[in-house]
Every structure is written in C-alpha cells, then in structure tokens.
C-alpha cells in the first residue's frame, strides 16, 4: 500500500460518516426549534414566573448602578442619588458587569441609562434585578452566592 493510500484510509477512520450525519441532524433540529420559537413569540419558559405568580415580594429597593468600565470599580446609588455602596476594582467586578449589560439593553432600546432598576427579594428567597423600562431581569443566584450576597446587602 502506498503512503498516500494509507493516509486516505486513516482519514476515513478518524471521523465516521454516521457521526457527521448525526451532528448535522442535531444542528438542523436546534435551528428548527429556535426558528419556531422566534416566529411564534414563545414565552421564556425557563425564567421563573415570580411577579404576578404565587410568590410575594418581601422587599424591594430602587437602585442606580454607576461603574467605571475600564477598572471595574462601581457605585450603587438609591433613587435619590445618595451613594449606598462603593466597590473598588477588586470588589466591583460583578456590579460593573451588571451595569454594562444594563447600559447595553437600554442603549439598544433607546431608554434612559441613568434611570433606576429594582432590586427585589421574593418570599421564597429569590433575589432579582428588574428593569421596568426594558423588561430585562437577572435572577442573581444564577451568578453565585457571593455575587447574590453583594446585592442582598443593599436591601438593608
């Protein structure tokens, strides 16, 4: 057998044709499901239905986020503009990240970047950030207990 023939035989054995077809079917199914959901305006079912559902709000507070995009330092202000908390570059990374997402969401919808958002604690212990201007929300436990605790301390 020539060296070229051995390479061709080896290449055929590396990725089985059946595997390639299965991956193609998987990609096609994912694309179909995503297209169907987008065209029919399916609701976001993976998000917990807290407000208006069976879980009552225990506490909530209107806050404004302000962050330095280059260093990661951040400040949290109440609705009147009084500073509630200041985070240095090592502590404020998550708060600055939330601020960047909020600015992006409001920019793309043409909303006021400086308007407050709601920090909400529900009866079941779920802590959430809600932006009533854009409909954006973040369930904070999904980002880890330490990051959720950073915002939980702002309710007091």
Q: Both tokens of residue 86?
A: 């200041």
The DSSP code for 1 is -
For residue 12, give Cα distances in angstroms to 8, 96, 98, 109: 6, 50, 48, 51
Q: Does residue 111 share a domain with residue 34?
A: no
Q: Does residue 44 lie in a domain region?
A: no
Same domain as 86, residue 13: no
Q: Quick one: pLDDT at residue 47?
A: 60
Please tell me whether residues 89 and 33 are part of one structural domain: no
User: Smallest Cα–Cα separation from 97: which of 71, 72, 63?
Assistant: 72
Q: Is the pTM of this model over 0.75?
A: no
Whether 93 is covered by a domain: the verdict is yes
Say whether both 95 and 141 belong to one domain: yes
> Residue 88 and residue 71: Cα distance in Å, rounded?
9
Domain carrying residue 132: 57-155
Q: In this prediction, what percent of the chain has a pLDDT beyond 90?
A: 28
Contact 122, 97 (CB under 8 A): no
Do residue 109 and residue 63 come from a single domain?
yes
**Number of folded domains in the chain?**
2
């Amino acid at each position: 057998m020539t060296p070229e023939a051995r390479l061709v035989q080896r290449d055929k054995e590396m990725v089985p044709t059946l595997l390639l077809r299965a991956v193609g079917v998987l990609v096609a199914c994912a694309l179909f499901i995503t297209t169907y959901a987008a065209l029919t305006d399916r609701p976001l079912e993976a998000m917990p239905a807290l407000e208006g559902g069976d879980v009552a709000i225990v506490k909530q507070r209107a806050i404004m986020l302000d962050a330095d995009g280059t260093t990661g330092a951040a400040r949290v202000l109440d609705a009147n503009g009084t500073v509630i908390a200041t985070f240095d570059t090592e502590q404020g990374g998550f708060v600055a990240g939330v601020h960047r997402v909020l600015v992006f969401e409001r920019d793309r919808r043409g909303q006021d970047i400086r308007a407050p958002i709601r920090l909400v604690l529900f009866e079941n212990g779920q802590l959430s950030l809600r932006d009533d201007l854009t409909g954006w929300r973040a369930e904070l436990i999904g980002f880890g207990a330490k990051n959720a605790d950073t915002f939980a301390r702002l309710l007091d």
